[in-house]
């Protein structure tokens, strides 16, 4: 049982490049989340999806887009990466719509030069 | 944005000791959550609390929802080396139930 799987685990980008972070869960959960974690800032919600076909902005959505492709997958896209987006990105899921995140992936460590 | 006041910021203890940490908010909460994060991994939900005064255990971990609804406590009894990690509190403001607010974490180190 893999839980929440994130790919890639590490990535280095140049300013202005684009990339998509992938997330998939195998627990049949309704809600999925994207967070970023920065030193001294705690976890901040970027976007969430309460159920398949819906997405909503979190606290820090600027510079990001998301796609809830199906119930399993929720991707995060950086269209034009900026150094301020250097962070560790976590995907999470929960059974209850808008419930607390129950299961997190192991994160994607993203550096933008 | 709003953050929770989590203390202490870090702890260094001897194996076998009990540990206490807490989280306070400036407003009334209707949910308190405690997570643990180990290096290189995502947070793991340890305990969820939904009622003032509620006391819930998960093995050697016990958490309480403060009766003022503005604080929560996490205790770890008889600590062991695998307790090492960062413990985060999180909660939902009763006046803005859609948003989950996070603390900055308590870093725990255990000396065997």
How far is B4 from B16, CA to CA, in rounded Å? 29
Question: Which of A98, A100, A105 comes nearest B45 by C-beta?
Answer: A100
**Arithmetic mean of pLDDT, A41-46:** 90
Å between A91 CA and nearest CA of chain B: 9
Interface of B with A in 23-62 (CB under 8 A): 31, 33, 40-45, 48
The pLDDT > 70 percentage for chain A reads: 96
Å between A16 CA and nearest CA of chain B: 27
- Please compute Rg for chain A using Cα positions: 13
CB contact under 8 A, B43 and A102: no
Four-point Cα dihedral A107, A109, A110, B2, nearest 10: 60
Short-list A80, A71, A5, A78, CA closest to A32: A71
Four-point Cα dihedral B51, B67, B93, B2, nearest 10: -140
Query: Is residue B90 less than 8 Å (CB to CB) from chain A?
Result: yes
C-alpha separations of B76 from A64, A94, B108 in Å: 38, 26, 11
Would you say residue B102 has pLDDT above 60? yes
Would you say residue A17 has pLDDT above 80? yes
- Give residues with Cβ within 8 angstroms of B100, minimum separation 6: A45, A100, A101, B33, B90, B91, B92
- The pLDDT-based confidence of B94 (bands split at 50, 70, 90) is confident
Q: What is the pLDDT of residues B32-43, one digit of tens each?
A: 999 999 999 999
Would you say residue B7 has pLDDT above 60? yes
Question: What pairing do the DSSP bridges indicate for beta strands B10-14 and B106-111?
Answer: parallel
A45 within 8 A of A58, measured Cβ to Cβ: yes
- Give residues with Cβ within 8 angstroms of B96, minimum separation 6: none
Would you say residue A1 has pLDDT above 70? no
Task: Please tell me the predicted confidence (pLDDT) of residue A97.
Answer: 67
For residue B104, the 8-state DSSP code is -
CB contact under 8 A, B98 and A105: no
How far is A113 from A81, CA to CA, in rounded Å? 9
Å between B41 CA and nearest CA of chain A: 4
A39 within 8 A of A54, measured Cβ to Cβ: no
Query: Is residue B103 less than 8 Å (CB to CB) from chain A?
Result: yes
Would you say residue A98 has pLDDT above 70? no
Short-list A3, A10, A1, A2, CA closest to A107: A10
Query: Is residue B2 less than 8 Å (CB to CB) from chain A?
Result: no
Task: Please tell me the predicted confidence (pLDDT) of residue B61.
Answer: 98
Mean pLDDT in chain A? 93
């Amino acid at each position: 049982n893999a839980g929440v799987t994130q790919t890639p685990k590490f990535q280095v980008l140049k300013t202005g490049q684009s990339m998509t972070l992938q997330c998939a869960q195998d627990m049949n959960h309704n809600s999925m989340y994207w967070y970023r974690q920065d030193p001294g800032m705690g976890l901040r919600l970027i976007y969430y999806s309460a159920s398949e076909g819906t997405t909503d902005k979190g606290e820090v959505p600027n510079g990001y887009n998301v796609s809830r492709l199906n119930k399993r997958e929720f991707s995060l896209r950086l269209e034009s990466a900026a150094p301020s987006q250097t962070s560790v990105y976590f995907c999470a899921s929960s059974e209850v719509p808008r419930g607390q995140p129950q299961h997190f992936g192991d994160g994607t460590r993203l550096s933008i030069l | 944005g709003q953050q929770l006041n989590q203390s202490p910021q870090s702890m260094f203890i001897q194996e076998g000791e009990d540990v206490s940490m807490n989280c306070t908010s400036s407003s009334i909460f209707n949910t308190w959550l405690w997570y643990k994060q180990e290096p290189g991994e995502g947070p793991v939900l340890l305990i969820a609390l939904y009622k003032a005064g509620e006391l819930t255990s998960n093995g050697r971990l016990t958490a309480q929802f403060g009766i003022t609804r503005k604080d929560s406590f996490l205790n770890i009894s008889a600590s062991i080396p695998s307790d090492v990690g960062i413990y985060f509190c999180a909660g939902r403001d009763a006046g803005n139930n859609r948003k989950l607010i996070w603390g900055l974490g308590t870093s725990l180190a255990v000396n065997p």
